[in-house]
């Protein structure tokens, strides 16, 4: 009887001695087709490559990709609060704005929507990385300048980190785009991650 009780105590001690589960830090990505693997084989987009890299070197971070092809900043604004409530992310990456320009939406609305999303995320205690975009040259130099300034203003006003041009590496000579000449192809995805990673890693 005493031997049985001793074994029970040992088993209980072993259970109580188990280390607590490792913390899990959600990383939420809110983007458009550039982050939603538009036209790409499943699992080959830059967000999935990010998830794989984090699993190797920062396994406590878990990526939630809430990107939707065709999403505008207004769409992101309508979804941000519920996504924050559901996932409680520690870091939010916002890659939106390109579709606003393609649809000719007012720049002030784009800026206001981005600022709202950033402020909501920071209010919930998350750090924020804003991925800036540029528009094609045919939009004109003035519009291009004002569009880029919208991202810079949001980052400055909210004291958030900004990567000024998410697709900058694809400006180099090479075959980086799908047949529509708008969406990056599969081999461009690693360049997009490499460009984003140095800024993103500092926020982990």
Q: Show me where the domains of the chain are located.
A: 25-201
Catalytic residue among 33, 51, 67, 158: 33
Q: Is 183 a catalytic residue?
A: yes
Q: Is 112 a catalytic residue?
A: no
Catalytic residue among 32, 51, 183, 195: 183
Q: Which two tokens stand for residue 38?
A: 């538009």
pLDDT digits (tens, 9 = 90+) for 9-56: 545 555 555 666 677 999 999 999 999 999 999 999 999 999 999 999
Which pLDDT value is given to residue 45? 98
Quickly state the pLDDT bin for 2 (edges 50, 70, 90).
very low
- pTM (2 d.p.): 0.89
Q: What is the mean pLDDT of the chain?
A: 92
Catalytic residue among 22, 142, 179, 180: 180
pLDDT digits (tens, 9 = 90+) for 57-100: 999 999 999 999 999 999 999 999 999 999 999 999 999 999 99
The answer regarding whether domain 25-201 maps to CATH 3.30.70.640 reads no
């Amino acid at each position: 009887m005493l031997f049985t009780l001793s074994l029970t105590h040992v088993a209980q001690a072993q259970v109580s001695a188990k280390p607590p589960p490792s913390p899990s830090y959600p990383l939420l990505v809110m983007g458009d087709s550039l982050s939603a693997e538009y036209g790409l084989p499943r699992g080959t987009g830059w967000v999935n490559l990010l998830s794989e890299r984090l699993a190797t070197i920062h396994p406590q971070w878990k990526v939630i990709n809430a990107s939707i092809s065709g999403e505008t900043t207004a769409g992101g604004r309508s979804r941000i609060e519920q996504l924050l409530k559901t996932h409680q992310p520690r870091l939010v990456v916002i890659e939106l704005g390109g579709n606003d320009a393609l649809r000719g939406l007012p720049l002030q609305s784009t800026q206001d929507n981005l600022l709202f999303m950033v402020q909501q995320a920071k209010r919930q205690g998350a750090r924020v990385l804003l991925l800036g975009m540029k528009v094609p040259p045919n939009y004109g130099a003035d519009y291009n300048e004002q569009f880029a300034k919208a991202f810079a203003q949001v980052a400055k006003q909210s004291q958030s980190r900004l990567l000024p041009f998410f697709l900058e590496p694809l400006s180099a000579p090479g075959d980086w785009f799908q047949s529509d000449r708008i969406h990056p192809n599969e081999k461009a995805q690693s360049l997009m991650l490499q460009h984003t990673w140095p800024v993103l890693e500092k926020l982990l």
